[in-house]
Amino acid sequence: MNVASLPLPAKQTAPTPAANSARVLRRLFMTLYLRGRSSRGLKKDQAPRSVAKLLRVSLLVYFLFGLLALTLLHQPLQLLAIYLHASTFMFIAMYVAAAGGEILFNKEEADILLHRPVAPAALLQAKMLVLVEVSLWLAAAFNITGLLIGTFGSGGSWRFPLAHAFSTVLEALFCTGCVVLAYQLCLRWLGRERLESLMTTVQVLVAITLVLSAQVLPRMISRLDGDAGLPVWSMVLPPYWFAAIDDALAGSGVVRSWLLGGVAVFATVVVFWMATQRLASHYITGLQQLTVTSSAKPTGSVLRWSKLAALPPLSWWLPAGAARAAFVLVFAYLMRNREVKLRLYPGIVPILAIPFLTLWQGRSGAGNGFIITFTGVFIGMVPMIVIGLLRYCEHWQAADIFRIVPLAGPAQLCAGMRAAVLMLMAPLILGMVVALAGLLPDPASLTLLLPGLALLPVYAMIPCLGGRATPLSQPTEDSKSANRGLQFMAMMGGSFALSGLAFWMSHLGYFWQFMLVEMLAVVIAYELMRRALARTPWPSME
């Protein structure tokens, strides 16, 4: 047989190595997001296989918040688009700012990936796409009601769902690109020496900006009518750009909307290109530098904290032993560990800013007393949030040593952690009270802060119940960042309920009687919780 006469096989187009690498990396990071980075207690057959299954509770809550769009049922389509994009921008940016540091900069994965022939752009783009995909799930849950209103409501259009879906995807890409770009610029301009502290600063600034935006945009929207529109300066706000896409494709179609929609598309393309291509090499450099083990620093500060724990009144609360050692350990991590600071400080800054903004807006209104009471309750909850976040640490495997030492349970370790957090928060809370006094026309109204501040010991004890808040003992899972908003929303609801009760008692003239009953309840509750925690054994490692 003549070999030359045999038919040649059909030519097949194989995927390029770059395409294969990008696909594999994205699937890898999505699997890490769904299953977590810890193998402890992991059962493969029970692991979530999709974002919807993993975040079903979060998605339900975002959907319920999206029902607020029903208040815009008879409003112009432009107003609906601005509201949806302003809220979506806040939710996406808050999630990306919280989860970005954990997903983008992880020392463990650098030991595996950095020596492989992986292009920096492919590695960074895969991580960003995971952030974008999760952001879009959250955005979709929130926007379902708005899409229905924009389609079937007054002034609605069948083109609105298509236009809004397109603009929301662009918005997610823009938010993710902005956060990543901020990290890369820090790496390029300041280098490794100041990167660690600056990463925390960047997230804090992003968090403050989001809180301010959340306060400014609703006021602007409430003033919008069909004729006057928004002020000209509002055009510099990114949510307005993406809302202009909806108005251009499914609304009025005015020239200004087309121009601002073009700005949104151009800004998204530029930001995402710079983040994934132009500055990708700086991301890899920074990841390599973060894995470099720096030389040991003097332990003088640790010795000072140890001496501080041995002095009254801390020595009365923390007897020599595990409790005092936990105090020094947690305080050292709070002051010196980049990963803990990166998660903690950006998380509490918005919570500390909200009472000030709320009080500033309502300081001259009739509901000023309720706002002050609400502020006190909110401030008192800050240590509970900090203790909840201190459960997570990149060195969580080292916490197994707690089980080796002769301790019946985590009670003493939790006591040391509470002491460290309360000591760190005490000057901050005192400074907030002094600052609030400057905002109040009558300083005597500061007494309305007492109902919330009196609950501080109970709030600090709540996360420790059941031994769940053993310090620095749990791995930092990327997927848990999306659920932190749920805890924040639940705390907001509890704060409103308690604030309403305290303000009502004050209005009826029974404030000090209420305080006496509350203090008695706090003492009893704290003692019962302390005894329950003392009897709590070590939780299962499964």
Spatial separation of the C-alpha atoms in residues 92 and 62, rounded to whole Å: 12
Q: Rounded to the nearest 10 degrees, what angle do helices 338-362 and 77-104 cross at?
A: 150
Q: Which of 396-400, 447-451, 514-518 tops mean pLDDT?
A: 514-518
Spatial separation of the C-alpha atoms in residues 170 and 89, rounded to whole Å: 11
Amino acid at 379: I
When mean pLDDT is compared across 2-6, 188-192, 441-445, 485-489, the lowest value belongs to 2-6
User: Quick one: pLDDT at residue 344?
Assistant: 74
Q: Does 319 lie in the same domain as 277?
A: no
User: Quick one: pLDDT at residue 468?
Assistant: 77
The whole-number average pLDDT for the span 10-31 is: 65
Question: Domain residues for 364?
Answer: 301-534
The whole-number average pLDDT for the span 374-382 is: 78
Q: Which two tokens stand for residue 525?
A: 């509750």
Q: Does 433 lie in the same domain as 380?
A: yes
Amino acid at 79: L
The whole-number average pLDDT for the span 56-75 is: 82
The pLDDT-based confidence of 87 (bands split at 50, 70, 90) is: confident
In the listed set 267, 290, 313, which residue is the last one of a domain according to the structure?
Answer: 290
Let me know if residue 475 belongs to a domain: yes
User: Quick one: pLDDT at residue 23?
Assistant: 77
Residue 199, Cβ neighbours under 10 Å: how many? Answer: 25
The pLDDT-based confidence of 466 (bands split at 50, 70, 90) is: confident
The answer on pLDDT for 520 being more than 90 is yes
The answer on pLDDT for 296 being more than 60 is no
Query: For residues 386 and 344, is the Cβ–Cβ distance under 8 A?
Result: yes
The pLDDT-based confidence of 1 (bands split at 50, 70, 90) is: very low
User: Quick one: pLDDT at residue 207?
Assistant: 58
User: Quick one: pLDDT at residue 199?
Assistant: 60
Q: Residues 6 or more apart from 365 whose CB is under 8 A from it?
A: 371
Q: Where are the alpha helices (DSSP H) in 49-119?
A: 51-54, 56-66, 77-104, 107-113
Amino acid at 72: L
**Residue 392 φ then ψ, to 5°:** -100, 140
When mean pLDDT is compared across 87-91, 334-338, 510-514, the lowest value belongs to 334-338
**Predicted confidence (pLDDT) per residue in 435-460, tens digit:** 777 767 676 677 888 888 888 888 88
Q: How many CA atoms lie within 13 A of 360 on its CB side?
A: 9
Q: Does 211 lie in the same domain as 173?
A: yes
* Residues β-bridged to residue 474: 392
The pLDDT-based confidence of 27 (bands split at 50, 70, 90) is: confident
Q: Does 471 lie in the same domain as 341?
A: yes
The pLDDT-based confidence of 489 (bands split at 50, 70, 90) is: low
The answer on pLDDT for 3 being more than 60 is no
Percent of the chain exceeding pLDDT 90 equals 6
Let me know if residue 45 belongs to a domain: no
When mean pLDDT is compared across 90-94, 180-184, 239-243, 355-359, the lowest value belongs to 355-359
Q: How many CA atoms lie within 13 A of 347 on its CB side?
A: 26
**Predicted confidence (pLDDT) per residue in 341-366, tens digit:** 766 776 676 666 666 666 665 554 44
Domains in the chain, number = 2
Spatial separation of the C-alpha atoms in residues 539 and 17, rounded to whole Å: 46
Let me know if residue 526 belongs to a domain: yes
Q: Which of 1-15, 49-63, 129-143, 369-383 tops mean pLDDT?
A: 129-143
Q: Does 311 lie in the same domain as 402?
A: yes
The whole-number average pLDDT for the span 493-502 is: 76
Answer left, alpha or beta for residue 279, where phi above 0 means left and psi between -120 and 50 means alpha: alpha
Q: Does 326 lie in the same domain as 210?
A: no
Let me know if residue 30 belongs to a domain: no
Higher pLDDT, 253 or 262: 262
Q: Residues 6 or more apart from 291 whose CB is under 8 A from it?
A: 107, 110, 111, 114
The whole-number average pLDDT for the span 30-40 is: 68
The answer on pLDDT for 192 being more than 70 is no
The answer on pLDDT for 524 being more than 50 is yes
The whole-number average pLDDT for the span 153-169 is: 86
Q: Does 229 lie in the same domain as 188?
A: yes
User: Quick one: pLDDT at residue 528?
Assistant: 93
392 secondary structure, DSSP code: B
Coil, strand or helix at 226: coil
Q: Does 407 lie in the same domain as 442?
A: yes
**For residue 123, which of 268, 283, 289 has the smallest C-alpha distance?**
283
User: Quick one: pLDDT at residue 350?
Assistant: 63
Q: Does 218 lie in the same domain as 137?
A: yes
The answer on pLDDT for 59 being more than 60 is yes
User: Quick one: pLDDT at residue 218?
Assistant: 56
Q: Which two tokens stand for residue 225?
A: 């009518």
When mean pLDDT is compared across 64-68, 245-249, 310-314, 364-368, the lowest value belongs to 364-368
Let me know if residue 140 belongs to a domain: yes
10 Å CB burial of residue 448 (0-12, 13-18, 19+) is buried
User: Is the Cα torsion angle 472, 473, 475, 479 positive or negative in sign?
Assistant: negative
Q: Which two tokens stand for residue 464?
A: 């420790």
Let me know if residue 236 belongs to a domain: yes
Q: Does 57 lie in the same domain as 171?
A: yes
Q: Does 158 lie in the same domain as 109?
A: yes
The pLDDT-based confidence of 486 (bands split at 50, 70, 90) is: low
Angle at 251 between CA 245 and CA 257, to 5 degrees: 40
pTM comes to 0.63
In the listed set 262, 290, 318, which residue is the last one of a domain according to the structure?
Answer: 290
The answer on pLDDT for 297 being more than 70 is no
Spatial separation of the C-alpha atoms in residues 352 and 225, rounded to whole Å: 33
**Predicted confidence (pLDDT) per residue in 204-259, tens digit:** 666 566 555 555 555 555 555 444 455 566 677 788 889 889 988 988 888 888 99
Let me know if residue 539 belongs to a domain: no
253 secondary structure, DSSP code: -
User: Quick one: pLDDT at residue 323?
Assistant: 82
User: Quick one: pLDDT at residue 490?
Assistant: 66
The answer on pLDDT for 503 being more than 50 is yes
In the listed set 226, 257, 290, which residue is the last one of a domain according to the structure?
Answer: 290
Let me know if residue 413 belongs to a domain: yes
The pLDDT mean for the chain works out to 75
Q: Does 220 lie in the same domain as 111?
A: yes
Spatial separation of the C-alpha atoms in residues 357 and 371, rounded to whole Å: 10
